Amino acid sequence: IQVVSAEFHKTATRPDEWPRGPVPEVAFVGRSNVGKSSMLNALTRRKGLARVSATPGRTRALQFFDVSFRPTPAARPRPLRLCDLPGYGYAKVSKAERDRWAAMIEDYLRERDVLRAVVLIVDARHPPTEGDEDAAAFLQSAGRRLVVAATKMDKLPKARRAAALQAVERSLGLGRGEAVPFSAIEGTGSDALWARLAALAAE
């Protein structure tokens, strides 16, 4: 995969603000601080595209990015839109505010017609959180295609990585080899994730 261009498009809090047009879209969800911004930057090869922040829970809107990529060096560039969803599980907000975000995210995940797949990002070092399990169950019930990416693999010794990945797969009800191992630090997993996204976008 070659990323031809990647740029911020817009933020949205209401459906009438969602970008229009027939461009295929992939959304990214995960608990706050899981490494979502770092993954978006690694995938697009643009360091500052999504803001990597030391203070979690800052992003309160949907953020859309326009990407153009070539599946092979000789292929024509294809468009793909990425949607960065606010991270869940951030404690320092009121219940009313959390409910508002949840409604905004659920509306998007249920109703977005150009949405081809959702990448659920989990921390490879730990069993999925309740929030991760809820997100996976919600996406399944909404009929969304789920791609699970286990990030921060670099924090595990190499000898423990395969077992950690299998633990993630088992606990989220996935088959062997379905989760994508990822590390923004080591720069691994981008090609495997792109292969999945490009295939889903082409359907």
Residues in contact with ligand GDP, counted by CB under 6 A, come to a total of 19
Six-digit token string for 179: 């989760």
Contact between 190 and ligand GDP by CB under 6 A: the answer reads no
**Burial class for 99, CB neighbours closer than 10 Å (0-12, 13-18, 19+):** exposed
Chosen residue from 26, 29, 35, 165 binding ligand GDP by CB under 6 A? 35
CB of 53 to ligand GDP, least distance (A): 5
Residue 112 engages ligand GDP in binding (rule: CB under 6 A): no
Pick 40 or 67: Cβ nearer ligand GDP: 40
Answer yes or no whether residue 30 interacts with ligand GDP by CB under 6 A: yes
| Sole binder of ligand GDP in the list 66, 133, 154, 178 (CB under 6 A) | 154
**Helices marked H in the chain:** 36-44, 95-111, 130-141, 158-171, 190-202
Beta partners for 184? none
- Helix or strand holding residue 122 (H, E): strand 115-123
Q: Which of 172, 183, 193, 201 binds ligand GDP (CB under 6 A)?
A: 183
